[in-house]
Amino acid sequence: MNPNIPFRDKETALKVSQSIKKEADTHKTYKIMEVCGTHTMAIARSGLKSMLPENVELISGPGCPVCVTSQGEIDLFFELLDCGVSVASFGDLLRIPGSNGETLIDKRARGADVNVVYSPLDTLKLAEDNPDKHYTFLGIGFETTAPTIAALIMEAKEKGLKNLSVLSFCKTMPAAFDLILSDKDMYLDGFLCPGHVTAVTGVQLYEPLIKAGKAAVVAGFEPVEMLDAVYEIVKQANNKNFHIVNKYRRVVPDIGNANAREILAKVFYESDAFWRGLGELKKSGLAIRQEYIEYDALKRFDLKPKNITEIKGCKCGQVLTGKIKPQDCPLFAKRCTPEDPVGPCMVSGEGTCAAYYKFLR
Ligand code: SF4
């Protein structure tokens, strides 16, 4: 695609849509998983699905960090508050119900010190300004956000702060890809790969996808960019010539960000982690290294995430693995709405259920 073409131009989008229609074999169904929650929301918002032929299907995957946070991890937010600490959190987490139906907003209304921050690093100022309180940052995120959380821990140590810790539930994508690839019931032609994660990892993250005979195309978030990526995946599927294509080079270099990876490796090591809907995945989490143990809230407060099943009736797990669409959940748009969510997929601004509720009902 010509890099000068405006990424939101309707005519260009229509042309790419026509190219997909011409390329797609009418005797075949193409299944493409978008892995990133930002893609899920951008696809829904732009009405992109209506520009695809019926036999080209986009399926949402486990790429929203709030949504993959397991129920056992969420419940630890509440246990932590019961230890009397103050927490700092991204806003989305405040509305996710714990197993007893209570949210962090409810807790705050009853006097708990729950602070919304826009960057993990904002926690430093909270801790510095209030030396008589202990602040724990609720650390969720993939390879994209984790370097900033690592930077928070490093900076806290440099400053010698003793009243700050991090609950690290950060996760990494490779094990999730492995799980999806090993699912015999899930046929996929290719993946629309997350630009944000690639900005850190580089495109080599997707080599296992190619080895498994799937297309892997990194795309931006504008309609023309996403359509162009779908076109590339359909072509690769037809030619059975699978390779990684980075169509987001205007933002994401193929090699990713070596500095960010270095910071990650300094602070974290790979650990097993519980994912909502996917269960416990080996080496899919980021735990805090021994050198920074004083900043590890799990160790400091002796907490352990339990493998707790989702709230009764919530089917986030199946939504996250592309097995069902949000409308197939009996609670969708009835008991579960963005105003009164049951599961994180309806809470998060990148959640599949929230995207379908807002744009695809
Ligand atoms: Fe869970 Fe609500 Fe989505 Fe159903 S609609 S899967 S209850 S978040």
Kindly state the average pLDDT of the residues 303-325. 85
pLDDT class for 348, splitting at 50, 70, 90?
confident
Q: What is the dihedral of CA 277, 278, 280, 283, to 10 degrees?
A: -140
Residues 241 and 106 in one domain: yes
Find out whether the beta carbon of 97 lies less than 6 Å from any atom of ligand 1: no
Same domain, 226 and 77: yes
* Cα 1 to ligand 1 centroid, rounded to whole Å: 37
Total-model pTM: 0.93
Instruction: Report pLDDT digits (tens) over 99-114.
Output: 888 999 999 999 999 9
Are 98 and 75 in contact, with CB atoms under 8 Å apart? yes
**Band of pLDDT at residue 243, cut at 50, 70 and 90:** very high
Which comes out higher in pLDDT, residue 87 or 309?
Answer: 87
How far is the centre of ligand 1, averaged over its atoms, from the C-alpha of 215 (Å)? 30
Residue 1 placed within a domain: no
Report residue 20's pLDDT band, with 50, 70 and 90 as the boundaries.
Answer: very high
- Look at residue 307 and tell me whether its pLDDT is greater than 80: no
Environment class of 270 (CB within 10 Å of its CB; exposed 0-12, middle 13-18, buried 19+)? middle
Residues 341 and 238 in one domain: no
Nearest CA to ligand 1 atom 8: 343
* Count of domains forming the chain: 2
Q: Same domain for 187 and 149?
A: yes
pLDDT at residue 59, rounded to an integer:
94
Same-domain check for residues 204 and 278: yes
The answer as to whether 288 is a domain residue is yes
Same domain, 94 and 232: yes
Q: Is residue 337 part of a domain?
A: yes
Closest CA to 60 of 358, 339, 316: 316
Residue 128 belongs to some domain of the structure: yes
Separation between Cα atoms, residue 351 and residue 335, nearest integer Å: 17
Contact 268, 168 (CB under 8 A): yes
Q: Which domain covers residue 191, as residue numbers?
A: 29-308
Cβ of 355 below 6 Å from ligand 1: no
The yes-or-no verdict on residue 1 having pLDDT over 70 is: no
> Quick check: is 5 in a domain?
no
Query: What mean pLDDT do residues 2-20 have?
Result: 83
Is 252 within the bounds of a domain?
A: yes
Q: Among the listed ranges 67-81, 216-230, 297-311, 314-328, which one has the minimum average pLDDT value?
A: 297-311
113, burial (CB in 10 Å: exposed 0-12, middle 13-18, buried 19+): middle
**pLDDT digits over 33-50, tens only?**
998 989 999 999 999 999
199 and 330 together in one domain: no
Residue 235, domain CATH: 3.40.50.11740
Q: Are residues 260 and 338 in the same domain?
A: no
Domain check: are 119 and 241 in the same one?
Answer: yes
For residue 246, the surrounding DSSP H or E stretch is strand 244-246
Both 108 and 216 in one domain: the answer is yes
Helices (H) and strands (E) in the chain, counts: 15, 11
Ligand 1 atom closest to Cα of residue 341: 2
Assess whether 231 and 333 both reside in one domain: no
> What does the H/E/C string look like for 117-131?
CCCCCHHHHHHHHCC
Dist. CA 233 → ligand 1 center (Å): 29
Q: Which of 159-163, 259-263, 322-326 has the lowest mean pLDDT?
A: 322-326
Write the DSSP symbol of residue 205.
Answer: G
Assigned domain for 20 exists: no
Q: Can you tell me the mean pLDDT for 239-259?
A: 95
Phi, psi dihedrals of residue 13, rounded to the nearest 5° = -60, -45
Q: Which helix (H) or strand (E) holds 180?
A: helix 174-182
327, 359 Cβ separation under 8 angstroms: no
Tell me: do 80 and 225 sit in the same domain: yes
In this structure, the number of other CB atoms found within 10 A of the CB of residue 57 comes to 16
**Is position 108 within any domain?**
yes
